[in-house]
Structures are given as C-alpha cells and as structure tokens.
Amino acid sequence: MRSFKAFPIERVIAMNECDYAAVLKHFVRKAIRRIWICQFQINLYPQEDETLAVRELVRDFAGAAKRSIDVRILIDRAQGNWRIHARNAQAQSFIPHLGIPCRYYSGGKRSLHAKYVVIDDVISIVGSQNFSHGALCTHRETGVAILSCPMNTHLRQHFLFVWEQSSSEHT
C-alpha cells in the first residue's frame, strides 16, 4: 500500500455551486506571484456560456497576467471525446493571445482530469468544477479553497511535473 501525505492546513473555505467562481475571482484579484491552473475542460463557446462566466474568469486571468503575475493553464487534450477536445482546442488557441501560456497535457494513455488552481505560495483551490457554464452556474458542484503552504507546494510540484509533459501544439 502506498503512503499518503498529510499536510497542515491554516484554513479551508468550502464552496458549493456558484461560490466557486466568486472565491476564485477574489483570490485571483489578490494574487501577487503566480496563478497556475490545471483543468480538464475550458469551454469558451459563447453559445454554451449564456452568462459568460467562463470568459469572465479568463478575463480575470488575463488581467493578472498584465499585472506581471505568472499565469499558466494546463488542459487535457481529451482525444476520446470530440466535443471536449473541440472546446479545449478553441481555448488552447485563444488563451495565448491574452498573454497566458496554455498547454495540452500529452501524457500518453493517461488523461488530465485534475481540477485545481494554485495561487501564490499558500492558496490551493480544488474542486469538481470544469471551466464551463454548467459547472460554474447550474450543476451541483463542490470544492475547497485551502490555505496551506505545504499543500500549495505539493500541487505546484505536480503542476510543474505535468507542465513538462505538456505541449503548446494546436491539434
């Protein structure tokens, strides 16, 4: 049996349904060093995002990048699902025009289904939410914002490991 790591936590903020976007935006606007985003799906299609909630989040990420915050986005290539693949392909081609590096995970047979954001050195946001209208506005989703340096460090290491296995190629 593998050993599991436990990390001390300063504080946890529970998020349900629409809380996720509000909490994420709050911490994005306060970021001073980095915002690293790991997502399975980013759906920027306006016809599938009536409230433009996803575009609003991406606009906040772009604003952070303009403030010289290190913003990076990892998304899954989703080769097995043509709808998600098309959505992610659109996001992966659009987001770099906002000054944000965006890479496809290309780890062989494994997909990238993780959904987390690390902000600076303390904040980690982990949840079931994709960046889609449904996940941000209508589905029953849950997540937590964790204030913990060791947890943040753990997720940053994971992010960098996956980032190195990823590609910015448009396919």
How many domains is the chain partitioned into structurally? Answer: 1
**Residue 70 belongs to what domain range?**
11-167
CATH of the domain at 77: 3.30.870.10
- Domain presence at residue 3: no
Q: Is residue 25 a part of any domain in this protein? A: yes
pTM: 0.93
> From CA 108, how far away is CA 93, in angstroms rounded?
21
Residue 64: inside a domain: yes
Q: What is the pLDDT along the chain (171 residues), one digit of tens a residue?
A: 566 788 989 999 999 877 999 999 999 999 999 999 999 999 999 899 888 999 999 999 999 999 999 999 999 988 788 999 999 999 999 999 999 999 988 777 778 889 999 999 999 999 999 999 989 888 899 999 999 999 999 999 999 999 998 987 655
pLDDT computed for residue 109 by the predictor: 74
Contacts of 107 (CB under 8 A, 6+ apart): 162, 165, 166
Say if 34 falls within a structural domain.
yes
Q: Specify the pLDDT at position 170.
A: 56
Q: Is residue 26 part of a domain?
A: yes
Determine, yes or no, domain membership for 157: yes
